Structure 1
């Protein structure tokens, strides 16, 4: 897939391509924000996150698919990218394959076994709609 230069500024693409932690914000049913650090991947068009279908964040995005995420450059904490977007779809991942892909990307210290909650795993597929960066 191709990148979306009109949405993601080229000089900040490295923050999506590197295995950095994104802080993913969703909106709770009561309107309050919820933010968690998350593993992710970027394919040039979509940002994907692994999650489960029984936690709060899943309920948040099924009720309101609007999300925002921020990534800070660990070498320069004043350099960051914020991406606003929408969860375009939620894909089932009952074998935990995407979780394992991310575990490898991030060099997770636990073995090559799928997570215990693999049967409940899903993938949030986020389409970026706007950014701000510094």
Structure 2
């Protein structure tokens, strides 16, 4: 499957920049948080805990959007909309460690909430960019 991410903006998913992940609350209102992520060529991958609202929202309503601004050119951006295709348990917090390394925040031990960690796979289906 080919990606909807344009080649002109691929650097924004390849670089370790923050994204803003928007989910939908039970009352239909948006919920947005800055997030670390990893693009694996098919999915945007995130981590969270099963105790957080983000997990519940994506489990119940898997539609989501991501906005990424270029820190070097703030009017250059990429917005991706898609669907969470799967959520996998990560009880050792291994993916959190991968992201911490990607964002130059090496860990000195396991993440405190490792037993409740999950890895979220969001497949982008639509892109808007400037």
TM-score category, normalised to shorter length: over 0.9
Distance 1:64 1:125 in 2: 14
**Alignment match, 1:112:** 108
**Alignment match, 1:126:** 122
Q: CA RMSD in A?
A: 1.1
**Alignment match, 2:23:** 26
Task: Could you tell me which runs of 5 or more consecutive residues in structure 1 were left unpaired when the two chains were aligned.
Answer: none
- TM-score, length of structure 2 as denominator length: 0.97
1:91 aligns with 2:88: yes
The count of corresponding residues between Structure 1 and Structure 2 is 130
**Alignment match, 1:9:** 6
Question: In the alignment, is the contact (CA less than 8 A) between 2:100 and 2:107 conserved in 1?
Answer: no
Which structure 1 residue ranges, 4+ long, deviate > 3 Å from structure 2?
none
User: How many Å apart are 1:113 and its aligned residue?
Assistant: 1.5
Task: Could you tell me which runs of 5 or more consecutive residues in structure 2 were left unpaired when the two chains were aligned.
Answer: none
